[in-house]
Amino acid sequence: MQGNLTALSITIFVILTVVLIGFLAGRDKSVRSSVEEWSVGGRRFGGLLVWFLVGADLYTAYTFLGLTSTAYSAGSLAFFAIPYSVLAFFISYFFLPKLWKVANHHKLTTLADYARERFDSKLLSALIAIVGVLMLIPYICLQLSGIQDTLQVAGTGFINVKVVVITSFLLVALYTFFSGIKGPTYTAIIKDVLVWAIMLFMVVSLPIIHFGGWNPMVDQIVKEAPQLLTIPNSGPKGIPWFITASLVSSLALFMWAHAATGIFTAKSGDALRKNAMFLPLYNIVLILVVFLGFIAFLVLPKGTDPRFALLSLIQTSYGGVAQGLAYSTIALASLIPCSIMAIGASNLFANNIYRDLINPQVKASRLTMITRGMVFVVIGLALLFGLVFPSALVSLQLLGVSGMVQIFPAIVISLFWKNQTREATIIGLLAGLAVTFTVYATGTSFGIYEGFWGIAANFLTVLVLNPFFVKRAQASSTPVKDYLFNQPAEEAHPERRGA
Amino acid sequence: MKKILLILIISLPFLAQLAVLPFVNRIEPVILGLPFLHFWLFLWIVLTPLCTFGIYHLQKSKGGLH
C-alpha cells in the first residue's frame, strides 16, 4: 500500500494549523488561572459554542471509522448509533439543566465532585473517578488508532507513522496544558465545519462515482446485499441487542467525563435545553455516513480489513486533494476529542482521586497545576497502551459504555430522588460493574447488551437496599441536597450567581 | 390534560425508536431513497427535536422552568 503525497501534505498542514490555533486560544493567561477556568472555561459558553464543543466531543474519528466498519461487516446493526445518540440528547434535556445548576452554584467541575457533595462521600467520588479514568483512557486509545490508521493509508512510504502519531499527540497534550478547554473549543469549530462539509461531500459524490447516484446505489444494495439492510431478528446481535444497546448507550453518553466537561462550560441551563433540541440534528450526516460502509462492501475487494473500510474507499475513489481533505477531517476528529477527553480525565484524577483521597489540604494553585500536568500522564498512558499493548485494551473498549452507565443512578437519579442513600448507591454501582464484567467474561448475555444486565442489577440493588439506610439519610443533609430539595420554588436562584 | 400530553410526548421518541423497531425492520417501501428502516430512523432524527421543543413550550407555559 502506497500513500499519496498531496493527500499527506494537506493532512499534515491542517493538523499543524489546528495545533497552532489551539495554542493561540491560550494567549490570555487567565485561561489557566484556576481549575474552573482551565477545565470549563469559567462557564461562559453560549448555546452555539457548547453545541460545537459537545458535537466535537461525541462525533469522533472512531464514530466515522468504527460505524462504517461495522456497517461493512455487520450491516444495519451499525445504525444503533442513531437512536442511541438521538435519545441521549432527548434524555439529557431532563437532567442536564438541573445538574448544571447545582454544579454552577457549588462550583463543581466533575461529575464525581457532584456525587461527593450530594452524598457527602469521598469514597463514592473516588469510585466514580476511577471508573471514569479507567474507561476513558482506552477511549483515547481508540482515537489514537483512528489517526494512526489514517496516516498509515495516507503516508505509507513517506513517513514513519508512529513518530508522527506520537508527535501530534504530544502537541495536542501541550496545547491542552497551555490553553485548557479554550483550545479544543476554537478548534472544534474548524473540525465540525470540516466534518459537515467533507462528510456531505462524500455522501453525495461516492454514490455518483460508483453507481451513478444515490438511488441506483440503494437499488444495487437491495439486489445484491439485502442482508445488510435489516437487523437480524435473533442471534447474538439481533433486534434485542440493538434496542438494549441503544438504550443503555443513551443513558451512558453524558456520564463520560469529556461529555460532562463539555456541558459544564455552558453559561446557563437554557443553553443546555437548546442544545438538547439541536444536537440530534447532527445525526443527519451520521446516518448517511453509515451507508458509506455499504458502498465499501460493494466496491472494495473481498477480504479488505473492515477497520480500513472507509479509508480504503476514500483512497480508491478520490484524487490527492479530496483524499487529503478527507484524511485531515478524520485526523482532526481524532485529535480534538482527545484533547477534551484528556481534560475530563485529568480533572477527575486531580480533583477526585488526588485531592479527595490523597491530599485534601492541597492549595488551589497547586491543584490547578496538577490538573493541567495530568494531561501529559493521561495522553502518555493512552499512547503507551495504544502503541505497545493494543490488544490489552480491547475488552476495556468494549466495556466502556457498559461501565460508564453504572454511575447513572449516582449522578442522575440522585437529582430527583431525595431519599436515595449513599450506601445503596455505592453497593449498586459495585454490583452493576460486577454483573457487567461477569456477563462479558462468561459470554452469557443472551443476545442482550452486557451493560443492560449491569444497569438492571444496579437499579435493583439500589431499590432493595435503600430502605435499610434511609433513616440516617433522612436525618443528615448536605448543602447540595438542601439546594436540590429544600428550596422554595419562588426563591429559585437566577441562572448565574451574581448575574 | 397538559400532564397527559406531556407524558405522551416524552414517551413518543422511546416508543418510536426502540419499541416499534421489530415492526419497521424492513426494506420495502423505499422512501426518499432510504430503505424503510433507515427512513424511519431518519424521520425520528427530525421528529425528536420537535418533541423536545414541544415539551420546552409546555413547561414554559406552566412556569415550570427556572
- Tell which of A86, A221, A223, A278 to mutate to test the B interface (max B CBs under 10 Å): A86
Distance between CA A262 and CA A43 in Å, rounded? 10
8 Å CB contact of A278 and B46: no
Top-confidence residue, A234 or A457: A457
Task: Say if residues A120 and A422 touch (Cβ distance below 8 Å).
Answer: yes
Q: Is the pLDDT of residue B24 over 70?
A: yes
Nearest by CB to residue A239, choosing from B21, B33, B41, is B21
Chain A hits for B25, CB-CB cut-off 8 Å, are 230-231, 233, 239
Q: How far is B5 from chain A (nearest CA, A)?
A: 16
What cell was used for A400? 466502556
Residues of chain A with pLDDT > 90, as a percent, come to: 16
Distance between CA A480 and CA A458 in Å, rounded? 23
Tell whether A34 lies on the interface with B, counting CB pairs under 8 A: no
What is the rounded average pLDDT of the residues A179-204? 86
Per-residue pLDDT tens for A46-79?
777 777 778 777 788 878 888 888 888 888 888 9
Q: Is the pLDDT of residue A121 over 90?
A: no
What is the rounded average pLDDT of the residues A172-199? 85
Q: In whole angstroms, how large is the CA radius of gyration of chain B?
A: 15
CA distances from A383 to A20, A169, A170, A380, A494 (A): 22, 8, 9, 5, 44
8 Å CB contact of B42 and A93: no
Per-residue pLDDT tens for A80-112?
889 999 999 999 999 999 999 898 888 888 899
**ipTM above threshold 0.95:** no
B37, closest residue in chain A (CA to CA): A230
* Domain map (residue ranges) of chain A: 5-387
Residue A236 confidence class, pLDDT cut points 50, 70, 90: confident
8 Å CB contact of B33 and A218: yes
8 Å CB contact of B17 and A283: no
Distance between CA A427 and CA B63 in Å, rounded? 38
> Which residues lie closer than 8 Å to A127 by C-beta, 6 or more apart?
A426, A429, A430
Top-confidence residue, A395 or A204: A204
Chain A hits for B45, CB-CB cut-off 8 Å, are 82, 86, 280-281, 283-284, 287
What amino acid occupies position B58? L
Q: Is the pLDDT of residue A408 over 90?
A: yes
What end-to-end distance do the CA atoms of chain B give, in Å?
22
3-state SS of chain A? CCCCHHHHHHHHHHHHHHHHHHHHCCCCHHHHCCHHHHHHHHHCECHHHHHHHHHHHHCCHHHHHHHHHHHHHHHHHHHHHHHHHHHHHHHHHHHHHHHHHHHHHCCCCCHHHHHHHHHCCHHHHHHHHHHHHHHHHHHHHHHHHHHHHHHHHHHCCCCCHHHHHHHHHHHHHHHHHHHCCHHHHHHHHHHHHHHHHHHHHHHHHHHHHHHCCHHHHHHHHHHHCHHHHCCCCCCCCCHHHHHHHHHHHHHHHHHCHHHHHHHHCECCHHHHHHHHHHHHHHHHHHHHHHHHHHHHHHHCCCCCCHHHHHHHHHHHHCCHHHHHHHHHHHHHHHHHHHHHHHHHHHHHHHHHHHHHHHCCCCCHHHHHHHHHHHHHHHHHHHHHHHHHCHHHHHHHHHHHHHHHHHHHHHHHHHHHCCCCCHHHHHHHHHHHHHHHHHHHHHCCCCCCCHHHHHHHHHHHHHHHHHHHHHHHHHHCCCHHHHHHHCCCHHHCCCCCCCC
Q: Is the pLDDT of residue A497 over 50?
A: no
By three-state DSSP, how is residue B34 classified?
A: strand
**Lowest mean pLDDT across A1-5, A43-47, A380-384:** A1-5
Residue A240, preceding peptide bond in cis (omega within 30° of 0): no
Tally the C-alpha atoms within 13 A of residue A120's C-alpha that lie toward its C-beta. Answer: 11
Distance between CA A290 and CA A229 in Å, rounded? 11
Q: Is the pLDDT of residue A25 over 70?
A: yes
Tell whether A452 lies on the interface with B, counting CB pairs under 8 A: no
What amino acid occupies position A436? T
Tell whether A86 lies on the interface with B, counting CB pairs under 8 A: yes
pLDDT confidence of residue A396: 65
pLDDT confidence of residue B64: 63
What is the rounded average pLDDT of the residues A360-365? 81
8 Å CB contact of B13 and A273: no
Tally of CB atoms within 10 A around A208: 12
What cell was used for A483? 439546594
pLDDT confidence of residue B47: 92
Task: Say if residues A134 and A396 touch (Cβ distance below 8 Å).
Answer: yes
8 Å CB contact of B17 and A246: yes
8 Å CB contact of B49 and A280: yes
Q: Is the pLDDT of residue B44 over 90?
A: yes
8 Å CB contact of B17 and A287: no
pLDDT confidence of residue A412: 93
CATH architecture of A5-387: Up-down Bundle (1.20)
8 Å CB contact of B25 and A230: yes
* Domain map (residue ranges) of chain B: 14-60
